[in-house]
Chain A
Amino acid sequence: MKISFPRMGYSYIAFKWLVENLGHECIVPPEPSKRTLDLGVQHSPEFACIPFKLLTGTYLEVAEMGAELIITSGGMGPCRAGYYWVMHQYLLDELDQNIRVMAFEPPLCDLKDFFQKLYWIKSSSGLSLHAFLQVLKVAWQKLIAIDDVEMRSHELRPLEINRGQTTRTLWKALERLDQADTLEEVETGRLEGLKHLDSIELDRTRRPIKIGIIGEIYVVLEPAANHYIQIMLGEMGVETNRSIYLTTYARTSTIVDLEGDIYAKARPYLNEAPIGGHGANSVGETVLYAEHGFDGVVQLAPFGCIPEIVAKSILPRVSRDLDIPVLTIFIDEQTGKAGVQTRLEAFVDLLERKRISKESRRGR
């Protein structure tokens, strides 16, 4: 069977390997392009958020490439994302696309459905239970390795002497991880990737501004949706710390819930959690970044994202109380790279001046 899935950042490398090693043909979703967006905008409801539109476009593109099944995640709200797959199936049927969307709902809600789907995947792969679990394990390690090298790259990029070297090294490391087939190879790929990143020529005397990136998961994770914001900031000499990685997300959203802490941080400002998506997280994470001495926070969200609008209306108060500037960027189909860049440059300027005046006050 020809299987595809939504694309989110570099995670496609691990998912591609997973699908192929389950004995299916993988249709790798292409990086969202102008065409993806145009297709998505044309066929999605006007006020659907940008992740919905990009996914509509992606699904239509993979359908063209011959995909028969899309595996995605469900959700139990109140963020709209949990209803995406239903709506996408409706839209794809309307367009006479012969493609099925299969969604994994949170296992805590419907354990039976979850295992039925898992069982279907296992039996369609023809693997023994042991081999099946082994494949899942390698894919999971791959995801962790991908996140590890990416995280390191964002720390190093602001210090690089030759602009673009970190990004090129990261891509090479990702290519190596793409080739890895066993747990050992993944681990070697991860260590080598980190080693190559660490051997980049750096100027350690720089003191980069530190910015926390918070917001809605899709636009935070998918560089093509946020105009490569982390690379852009890194090349402006800013160290970024992203609040969400797929591996942390998956770790906290299963049976063990590590997000309770974040909600406690948000409680003085937002006395209800979760409020869907990463709305309450955004408030809590801003508090955390302020406590950890970050210079500023950038909130990324799709235009019309309900939980992030709630967060946005509350963040000015957090920002005032804790003295941490917050820049909110709502992304829609009209957002251009130059616009984002101008706003970021102005924001970074502001943060630099703020730091200088703070330090001179302290020096006096």
Chain B
Amino acid sequence: MSKIGIPRTLEYFLFFPFWKGFFTELGHEVVVSPVTNKAIVEKGVEEAVNDACIPIKIYHGHVAQLADRVDYLFCPRLVSMRKGGDFGTETFCPKFLGLPDMIRATMENIPPIIDTRIDLKKGKNEMAAVCREIGASLGNQGPEITRAYKRGQALQEQYQALQRQGMLPDEAEERLFKNKTTTPEKTGPKPDLNIALVGYPYAVYDHYINAGLLKLLQKEGGRVFTQEMLTQAQMEREAETLPKNMFWYFSNQVVYGALHYLRRSEIDGIIHVTTFACGPDSMVDRLIEIEAKKRSQKPYLSIMIDEHSGDAGVRTRVEAFLDMLRYRRDKR
């Protein structure tokens, strides 16, 4: 039995339940780094190459938190999630492709890294193959691994189903692993605005780096819709309306999500959360802005977060945006 460390950032929000289920079923202990905090961000900024974007720096910070507490660091090399994009070339941002090597080259005293290559475009059995590779490297046997894989998959499906019902990842995770069946009482007024919030999961769902944006929106009377609440089919429909798809899985999800919500009449406005120095987002942000203008009358707000984002800055912009949406609605 080993302790496996999983950083609570980047792809964590995408498929943590799968890995939690998989490793636990195999008899290993999963150690997750704490929720992002100031110390983690500062540590990350110190460790990472200075030109990196904020999410990558924060990842370094989370790795530092786990370094002396675990036997293995789980940092898979994400290459593709599906055969998507134009001619099936969809992949991840180069920083995801080189992440295990970056960690190895820049950080000292880190445990062995499980850097299995996850390239799911190869076929539908690929994920099982990936699991076999990881299981074998941890000393587990065939049948065990198959059972663990199925357990992981079951949890992942439930997790995604809960999200499609409109649940946010932390609520869905609590429901899955702590068996909480009652949703916590929502504070604040009854929502009167529908806001589509698009952006990378690690920016949208990390309450520290986005300065509590989700809670702020809820408190101010906004009902939040994210791209994770959509089905793949709903997303896919938007792919054909673009001259060319983006190359990055996360970016495509954001663009499709935004384009989908542009069509929905009940959505009052769109907010795009982007992180400082994010390469793909320089394209994504302008693309959504132009398409929002072309395809609808919906107001669009882009919020860029960096390591210094105080909640006052975000709060001011969000409040002004919501005020403007209400003003527009009442005028009509």
Contact = CB atoms under 8 A, between A and B. Distances in A.
Interface stretch (A3-11, A78-86, A241-249, A285-293): A78-86
A313 B279 CA distance: 16
Contacts of A317: 105
B243 A109 contact: no
B281 interface: yes
A309 B49 contact: yes
Contacts of B280: 80, 306
Nearest to A309: B51
A310 interface: yes
A46 B91 contact: no
A115 interface: no
Contacts of A48: 282-283
B207 interface: no
Interface in B251-298: 277-283, 285-287, 290
B20 interface: no
Contacts of B51: 303-304, 309, 312, 330
Interface in A27-62: 45-49, 52
Interface string A313-332: 11011000000000000100
B49 A306 contact: no
Contact of A47 (B97, B105, B281): B281
B86 A109 contact: yes
Nearest to A315: B105
B32 interface: no
A45 B97 CA distance: 24
B94 A87 contact: no
Contacts of A304: 51, 277, 279, 282
A45 B282 contact: yes
Interface string A74-96: 10111110110011011100100
A307 interface: yes
A185 to B, nearest CB: 40
Given A80-B283, A279-B98, A313 B48 contact: yes
Contacts of B287: 87, 90
Contact of B101 (A76, A87, A269): A269
A47 B278 contact: yes
A109 B247 CA distance: 13
A312 B50 CA distance: 10
B92 interface: yes
Contacts of B244: 74, 83, 86
Given A87-B287, A313-B49, A47 B279 contact: yes
Q: How extensive is the interface on chain B, given as a class?
A: 35 or more
Q: How extensive is the interface on chain A, given as a class?
A: 35 or more
A271 interface: yes
B100 A271 contact: yes
A76 B89 contact: yes
Contacts of B48: 313
A270 B98 contact: yes
Nearest to B291: A90
Contacts of A264: none
B77 interface: yes
Contacts of B282: 45-49, 52, 80, 304
Contact of A275 (B85, B94, B243, B246): B94
B98 A83 contact: no
Contact of B117 (A78, A83, A272, A276): A272
Contact of A314 (B98, B247, B286): B98
B43 to A, nearest CB: 16
Contacts of B89: 76-77, 109
Contact of B243 (A52, A89, A303, A316): A89
A306 B100 CA distance: 15
Interface string B286-324: 110010000000000000000000000000000000000
A64 interface: no
A76 B93 contact: no
A94 B291 CA distance: 11
A184 interface: no
Contact of B98 (A76, A109, A310): A310
B283 A269 contact: no
A269 B105 contact: yes
A272 B248 contact: no
Given A271-B115, A304-B277, A310-B102, A87 B97 contact: no
A78 B49 contact: no
Given A47-B279, A306-B94, A306-B279, A313 B102 contact: yes
B95 interface: yes
A83 B105 contact: no
B94 A79 contact: yes
A110 interface: yes
A335 to B, nearest CB: 14
A314 B102 contact: yes
A296 interface: no
Contact of B277 (A47, A74, A109, A310): A47
Given A303-B51, A310-B97, 19 more contacts: A45-B282, A45-B283, A45-B285, A47-B278, A48-B282, A76-B87, A76-B89, A78-B97, A80-B279, A83-B247, A109-B87, A269-B101, A272-B77, A272-B98, A276-B94, A304-B51, A304-B282, A307-B94, A313-B52
Interface of B: 48-49, 51-52, 77, 79, 85-87, 89, 91-95, 97-98, 100-102, 105-106, 115, 117, 243-244, 246-248, 277-283, 285-287, 290
9 contacts: A45-B283, A46-B282, A47-B278, A49-B279, A77-B91, A77-B246, A91-B286, A279-B94, A309-B95
